[in-house]
Amino acid sequence: MAAQPEPKPGHRQAGEILLKVENVDLAFGGVRALREVSFEVRRQQIFAIIGPNGAGKSSMLNCINGFYHPNSGTIAYKGAPRKRMRPYQAATQGIARTFQNIALFKGMSTLDNIMTGRHLKAKATLLENAIWFGRAQREEMEHRKFCEGIIDFLEIQQHRKTPVGTLPYGLQKRVELGRALAAEPELLLLDEPMAGMNLEEKQDMARFILDVNDEFGMTICLIEHDMAVVMDLSDHIVVLDHGEKIGEGSPEEVSSNPRVIEAYLGTSEEEGA
């Protein structure tokens, strides 16, 4: 149990390859957002993608969950290279994510938001739901129970029935994590989970991320700006700059990589947000 953020020993890097990104290229019109990016995410890892603004981090995440389609290169998940796909198919394969700008369902309560994350596990049909009987009701209770577990884990019990739009920012981020967890994903993508948080909220979020990784054995791939957090949390880091991979390795290796230092120092005034 690693409840405190601290550098990980190397033993957890031994998992098999879950996601393999090879020579991925992505362009919007004339702008190349990603150039020949390759890396591997192994099971049980906390994997981080870092880089200055506009380095292509979010684009990379969007490619992984099928929202963008790479112009060339392959992304193989669980050993199977993927064809052109819709984002919902990534979810069915066991990939869940959170968003840089919170993408919660604003009209719904915390509980309902987290329950939507469960829906891939729901089998009841429209007609069964219409009469609220048998499987529909049974499933609803099972999912409720599971989601209550997540609500306890994330310590948001008192906000269960609050419309999420009225929650403070830090809590909304938590609810979003809860919604992703509800799907019981194998790969969890976190897009700047701590952006805009104060120190205390960051510590809470770091604790949740480590616990998720430890207790549920979920593989985590995250993007984050806060270097201290990334260095503390991650097992393995990829550094992007202008769509290109400029460094990769353990936190120690990355922080001593001269290209990485140059990229960060050179653009440090653009950091933030």
Partner 1 sequence: MLYRESGQFKTTYAADQAILPIKQDLYFVILAILIAVAIPFFVSNYVIQALLLPFLIYSLAAIGLNILVGYCGQISLGTGGFMAVGAFAAWNLMARIPDMPPLVAFILAGLIAAGAGILFGLPALRIKGFYLAVTTLAAQFFLIWLLQRPWFVGYSPTGVISAQTIEILGWRVDTPVDRYLFALAVLIVMALVAKNLVRSATGRKWMAIRDMDVAAEIIGIRPMITKLKAFAVSSFFVGIAGVLWAYLYLGQLEAEAFDIYTSFDVLFMVIIGGLGSILGSFLGAAFVVIVPILLNVIPGALGLPLGTAMISYIEIFIFGSLIIFFLIVEPHGLARLWSIAKQKLRLWPFPY
Partner 2 sequence: MPIELSFFLEVLVGGLLAGMMYSLVALGFVLIFKASGIFNFAQAAMVLFAAMFIAGMHQRYGVPFWLAIPLTIVLMIGVAWIIERVVLRPLVNQEPIIMFMSTIGIFFALIGFAEMIWGSRSRSLDIGIPQDPIFVGDMLFQSYDLVAGGIALVLVLLLALFAQRTRMGRVLRAVADDHQAAQAVGIRLSTVWVVVWSIAGFVAVVAGVVWGGNLGVQPVMVDVAFKALPVLLLGGLTSIHGAIIAGLIIGAGESLAEVYLGPIIGGGIDNWFAYVIAMAFMVYRPEGMFGEKIIERI
Residue whose entry in the numeric block shows the structure tokens 């019109």:
29
Q: Which is nearer to partner 1, 32 or 160 (CB)?
A: 160
Give the interface with partner 1 as residue ranges (CB under 8 A). Answer: 65, 67, 86-88, 90-92, 96-97, 99, 103-108, 112, 115-120, 122, 124, 126, 129-132, 136-137, 139-141, 143-145, 148, 179-180, 183
What is the edge-to-edge ordering of all strands in the sheet holding 187-191?
A: 80-81, 72-77, 17-28, 31-42, 244-249, 236-241, 46-50, 219-223, 187-191, 95-97
Least distance from partner 2 to the Cβ atom of residue 140, Å: 29
CA separation for the pair 52, 139 (Å, rounded)? 45
Question: What is the CB-side half-sphere exposure of residue 184 using CA atoms within 13 A?
Answer: 9
β-pair partners for 19: 41, 77
Least distance from partner 2 to the Cβ atom of residue 21, Å: 19
CB crowding 166-204: b at 16 or more within 10 Å, else e: ebeebbbbbbbbbbbbbbbbbbbbbbbbbbebeeebbeb
Q: Which is nearer to partner 1, 23 or 88 (CB)?
A: 88
Any contact of residue 105 with partner 2 (CB under 8 A)? no
- Partner in contact with 69, chosen from partner 1, partner 2, none, beta carbon below 5 to 8 Å by kind: none
Least distance from partner 2 to the Cβ atom of residue 28, Å: 8
Any contact of residue 62 with partner 2 (CB under 8 A)? yes
Least distance from partner 1 to the Cβ atom of residue 200, Å: 27
Least distance from partner 2 to the Cβ atom of residue 67, Å: 6
Which range touches partner 2 (CB under 8 A), out of 41-49, 98-106, 123-131, 239-247? 98-106
